[in-house]
């Protein structure tokens, strides 16, 4: 097992506080995975899917209250409030620990405490970080098996004195003797806390069993804690997919793209290019850790080992590579289990005759509730979990500890209006401005965004920046200075423009490869661009539309820079950035002024 002093002391301390029935040290083995699945099927938490249709795969349904991240209950408990900044919830760390210790006291009664040793990044590589998650959720254990590298080799690396990131998690639902367990134990919203102590590299999560709230290697460690470390140490931890795009001549481009949750990262990461001869290979679909290499370029790795992807919308026509990735050895959460024991979700592109919906009710397509609204079979934030190596287009270099050199940064979000299909920054500083003022309409990936029409989401990192967002923006400018002329070129895209009557203006998915090709042509100097107030845009005919049936007026709309709408967005951005006070980088203010002048 381990002789690591800090780890042994920590496990003993948590065991004493949480009083589980037993402690199990996990080894990441297939035997362990199979055993936990058998146990969860026996208790009714998991459903085993048909072995011939979906080998070694399981479905879970969460409690209806526990279906997504809860940003309102997520905290950055830095020592000083100003270090958490205006985009984070803050509680004094001592006070938060007091509150949470009361919740943790006895919280694992009647349950098993699992100790999960995991590596984010290839085990043993310089760039990898070691975490240990303590959890009382067997669902978390099996998902961590897929999403991270769970292995006792972590103990060898730690040795007696090595350091790790402690990640404490409990579903917050102790069991009294004889009390029957619920199918998905969790705590009510007011008892949920997803807490980060960035100065201590420490994570405490209580009350939720879902996704990023509970699989602590992902958003908590690899983004919130890692971004704070990266800010201190001069590297980057970003909410970005990473892909390799290879031209017909064999030239490789590496692209990292930041879109908010449920805005198209997983889809872009594995897209099937429609531009002849070009191909995409996946390196990561959610998180990138990047640092300058010896040659002065920026190198990126994917710290994860699997995908936790949005199920609805995943179909043969949209994301066939994701569908192939979940053909076996997959976990599904909050989807329909069909009458023949397979899975289904909305916009899967296949018929479903009926089954059990994500709320465990009998379900048929087209069913309506009392108000006449259609009942969805799968929750909009239902997810699949699958190992990255099951993706048919996973890149041979996806686990290369040296990473891949990034040529292009892409920013974006879901905007049904205003933002054109694509524009390019004049230079890296303006690229930082574009990323920092990225905006998106809310999605189902977080529970509590309310009814806002639009939110600013700098670098798609609003819920994941582990420190002051103004310092984080400055860090981006500093990285640009460090990289100089080797900095990636910056672009902004929007796949989500709609007509007034609600139809997509752009076909999206595989057709997005046309936009990626234009970016690569720009990097190569093969195409020009026209200057607009917001940036550089394609010259007509140079972003190929061959074979697409897009009416000229739709294309004009997709390429339009509506200065009235942009002036409005600029005003909104100013108001938003005013919250940053004197932490707003001077260069951001300069960019705002310059854009205002260009818009006239």
CA dist 100 and 108 (Å) reads 14
Number of residues binding to ligand SPV, judged by CB under 6 A: 9
Q: Smallest distance, Å, CB 64 to Mn ion?
A: 22
- Binder of residue 167, out of ligand SPV, Mn ion, ligand GTP, none (CB less than 5 to 8 A by kind): none
| Tokens standing for residue 387 | 């190992």
Ordered DSSP codes for 348-397: -SS----EE-TTS-EE-TT-B-TTSPBPPSS-TT-EEEEEGGGSTTB-TT
Give the interface segment with ligand SPV, choosing from 210-218, 430-438, 532-540, 548-556 (CB under 6 A). Answer: 210-218
CA dist 59 and 340 (Å) reads 13
From the list 10, 204, 308, 358, which residue makes contact with ligand SPV (rule: CB under 6 A)?
308
Establish if 314 lies at the interface with Mn ion (CB under 5 A): no
CA dist 78 and 466 (Å) reads 9
From the list 262, 298, 421, 422, which residue makes contact with ligand GTP (rule: CB under 6 A)?
262
Establish if 286 lies at the interface with ligand GTP (CB under 6 A): yes
CA dist 288 and 291 (Å) reads 10
Q: Are 311 and 345 in contact (CB under 8 A)?
A: yes
The values of phi and psi at residue 421, to 5°, are -55, -45
Establish if 508 lies at the interface with ligand GTP (CB under 6 A): yes
From the list 265, 379, 475, 489, which residue makes contact with ligand GTP (rule: CB under 6 A)?
265
From the list 54, 69, 379, 522, which residue makes contact with ligand SPV (rule: CB under 6 A)?
69
Q: Please list every residue from 224 through 263 that binds Mn ion, using CB under 5 A.
A: none
Q: Please list every residue from 273 through 292 that binds ligand SPV, using CB under 6 A.
A: 286
Give the interface segment with ligand GTP, choosing from 63-71, 259-267, 324-332, 471-479 (CB under 6 A). Answer: 259-267
Establish if 170 lies at the interface with ligand GTP (CB under 6 A): no
Q: How does DSSP classify residue 591?
A: H
Establish if 317 lies at the interface with ligand GTP (CB under 6 A): no
**Beta bridge partner(s), residue 230:** none
Establish if 382 lies at the interface with ligand GTP (CB under 6 A): no
> Is 391 in the active site?
no
Establish if 266 lies at the interface with Mn ion (CB under 5 A): yes
Secondary structure class of 535 (helix, strand, coil) = strand
Please give the biggest Cα pair distance in the chain: 72
How many CA within 13 A on the CB side of residue 298?
Answer: 29
From the list 117, 212, 431, 538, which residue makes contact with ligand SPV (rule: CB under 6 A)?
212
- Binder of residue 205, out of ligand SPV, ligand GTP, Mn ion, none (CB less than 5 to 8 A by kind): none
CA dist 132 and 154 (Å) reads 9
Q: Which residues lie below 8 Å from residue 146, measured CB to CB, with a gap of 6+? A: 305, 306, 329, 331, 385, 386, 387
SS3 per residue for 239-273: CCEEEEEECCCCCEEEEEEECCCCCCHHHHHCCCC
Question: Looking at the annotation, which residues are catalytic?
Answer: 263
Interface residue list for ligand GTP (CB under 6 A) = 259, 261-267, 285-286, 309-310, 312-313, 318, 445, 495-496, 504, 508-509, 512
Judged by the rule CB under 6 A, the positions of this chain that interact with ligand SPV are 69, 211-212, 218-219, 261, 286, 308, 445
């Amino acid at each position: 097992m381990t002789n690591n002093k800090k780890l042994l002391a920590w496990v003993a301390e948590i065991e004493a506080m949480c009083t589980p029935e037993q402690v199990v040290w996990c080894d990441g083995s297939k035997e362990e995975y199979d055993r936990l699945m058998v146990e969860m099927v026996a208790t009714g938490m998991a459903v085993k899917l048909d072995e011939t249709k979906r080998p070694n795969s399981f479905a879970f349904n969460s409690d209806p209250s526990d279906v997504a991240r809860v940003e309102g209950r997520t905290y950055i408990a830095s020592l000083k409030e100003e270090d958490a900044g205006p985009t984070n919830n803050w509680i004094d760390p001592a006070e938060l620990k007091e509150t949470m210790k009361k919740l943790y006291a006895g919280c694992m009664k009647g349950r098993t405490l699992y100790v999960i040793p995991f590596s984010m990044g290839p085990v043993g590589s310089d760039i990898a970080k070691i975490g240990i998650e303590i959890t009382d959720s067997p669902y978390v254990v099996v998902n961590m098996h897929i999403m991270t590298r769970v292995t006792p080799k972590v103990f060898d690396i730690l040795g007696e004195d090595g350091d790790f990131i402690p990640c404490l998690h409990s579903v917050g639902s102790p069991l009294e003797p004889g009390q029957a367990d619920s199918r998905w134990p969790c705590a009510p919203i007011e008892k949920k806390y997803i807490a980060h102590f960035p100065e201590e590299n420490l994570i405490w999560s209580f009350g939720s069993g879902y996704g990023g709230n509970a699989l602590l290697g992902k958003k908590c460690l690899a983004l919130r804690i890692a971004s704070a470390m990266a800010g201190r140490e001069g590297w980057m931890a970003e909410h970005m997919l990473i892909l390799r795009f290879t031209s017909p001549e064999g030239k490789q481009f590496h692209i990292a793209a930041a879109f908010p949750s449920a805005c198209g990262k997983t889809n872009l990461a594995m897209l099937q290019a429609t531009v002849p001869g070009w191909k995409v290979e996946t390196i990561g679909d959610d998180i990138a850790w990047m640092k300058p290499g010896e040659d002065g370029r920026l190198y990126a790795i994917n710290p994860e080992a699997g995908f936790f992807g949005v199920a609805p919308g995943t179909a043969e026509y949209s994301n066939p590579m994701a569908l192939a990735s979940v053909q076996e050895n997959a976990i599904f959460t909050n989807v329909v289990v069909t009458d023949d024991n397979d899975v289904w979700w909305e916009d899967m592109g296949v018929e479903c005759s009926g089954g059990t919906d994500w709320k465990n009710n009998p379900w048929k397509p087209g069913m309506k509730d009392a108000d006449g609204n259609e009942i969805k079979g799968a929750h909009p934030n239902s997810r699949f979990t699958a190992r990255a190596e099951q993706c048919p287009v996973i890149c041979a270099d996806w686990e290369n500890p040296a990473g891949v050199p990034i040529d292009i940064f892409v920013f974006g979000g879901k905007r049904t209006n205003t933002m054109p299909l694509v524009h390019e920054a004049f230079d890296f500083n303006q690229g930082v401005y574009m990323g920092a003022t990225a905006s998106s309409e809310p999605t189902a990936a977080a529970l509590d965004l309310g009814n806002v029409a639009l939110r600013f989401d700098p670098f798609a990192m609003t819920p994941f920046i582990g420190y002051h967002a103004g310092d984080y923006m400055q860090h981006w400018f500093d990285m640009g200075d460090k990289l100089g002329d080797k900095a990636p070129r910056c672009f902004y895209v929007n796949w989500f423009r709609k007509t007034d009557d609600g139809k997509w203006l752009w076909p999206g998915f595989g057709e997005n490869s046309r936009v990626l090709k234009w970016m690569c042509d720009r990097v190569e100097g093969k195409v020009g661009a026209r200057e607009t107030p917001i940036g550089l845009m394609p010259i007509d005919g140079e972003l190929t539309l061959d074979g697409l049936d897009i009416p000229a007026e739709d294309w004009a709309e997709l390429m339009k820079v509506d200065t009235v709408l942009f002036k409005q967005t600029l005003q909104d951005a100013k108001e938003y950035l005013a919250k940053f006070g004197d932490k707003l980088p001077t260069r951001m203010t300069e960019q705002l002024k310059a854009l205002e002048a260009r818009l006239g």
